[in-house]
Each structure stands twice: as structure tokens, then as C-alpha cells.
Amino acid sequence: MSTTNNDKQFMQAAIDMASKGMNSNAGGPFGAVVVKNGEIVAAGHNEVTSTNDPTAHAEVVAIRKACEKLGTFQLDDCEIYTSCEPCPMCLGAIYWARPSKVYYACNQQDAADIDFDDQFIYDEIGNGIENRSIKFIPLMRNEALQVFKDWSEKIDKTEY
């Protein structure tokens, strides 16, 4: 797929966010921007260690900011530019936000080379719920199903 000078400019902004976050000791060396209609809507960098938030990866931060700014929980017609291939958590966040495209710079192996090893998590997801290193234990399904039933029957709900 061909990329344009605009794409490069947006990716440079994501890379600059990665540098900025790292140099300010906000967190790991990762940055991302969300673009809509040729303009940057929001930018984020990793903030895990400075905000004590393990979910504050660059993509999640940028997605949250973009949604807040746009007043929506969906990033239709937006593109995400991220300085590194998303980890499984960010990949999940991207699928829930539903942007039209994702541009990424470094890849998963590059991240593993500096000790950010997503492969372990990818493997764990693939292992299935009964074979994970963190134990997943089923409990009280029937009680919880009642809430799902209530949701099904709820009239004034916002679906997503």
C-alpha cells in the first residue's frame, strides 16, 4: 500500500511523541497519534510508570484522548499512527475503537529486542483459557447470566 508525505508527517509526530515520553520519563519509548480528515486529533505516549497505569500505552492514551475530543466512543474514519506495532491490549483497544487504518513503524521483534516482549502475551491468548500462566477460574456463571438476561431485555440501552 502506498504512503504519502502526509503519512510520513503523521508518523514522525508519533515518533516524536515516543521520544518526548521517553525523555520526560513518562514511560517506555512509544508514541501514537490519531488523525481525522488530514489533521491530528490527539497524540499520546506511553505513561505506564509515571501514572501507575499499566493500560497507559501510547495507543490507548491516544485513543482515549481522541474519543474524548471527538465526543464519541468510535474512531470511524480515523487513522492511527503508532511508533510500534501494537501489543495485544492495544490491538484489542484498536478493534473496539474501529479506526479505518493503522500505520506502524517498529515491529514486534524490534520491541522484543529492547525487552518489551509481547510474544508472551500473544502466546497466552492463543493457549486458551485453561492453559494460561495466570490461572483463570470459572465461578458463579449462573448468577452473572441473570445480568446478561436483564441487558437483553433492557429497552433504554446504548449498544456498542
CB 113 within 8 A of CB 85: no
Q: Choose, from 39, 59, 68, 153, the residue flagged as catalytic.
A: 59
The interaxial angle of helices 58-70 and 88-97, nearest 10 deg, is 20
Q: Which residues of 89-108 are buried (b: 16+ CB within 10 A; e: fewer)?
A: ebbebbeebebeebbbbbeb
State whether residue 68 is helix, strand or coil: helix
* Closer Cβ to its own copies, 37 or 138, answer by number: 138
* Closest distance to its own copies from the beta carbon of 108 (Å): 8
* Closest distance to its own copies from the beta carbon of 37 (Å): 18
CB 33 within 8 A of CB 42: yes
The amino acid that residue 16 corresponds to is: D
* Closest distance to its own copies from the beta carbon of 40 (Å): 15
* Closer Cβ to its own copies, 14 or 43, answer by number: 14
CB 70 within 8 A of CB 36: yes
Is 47 a residue of the active site? no
* Closest distance to its own copies from the beta carbon of 39 (Å): 18
- Give the active site residues: 59
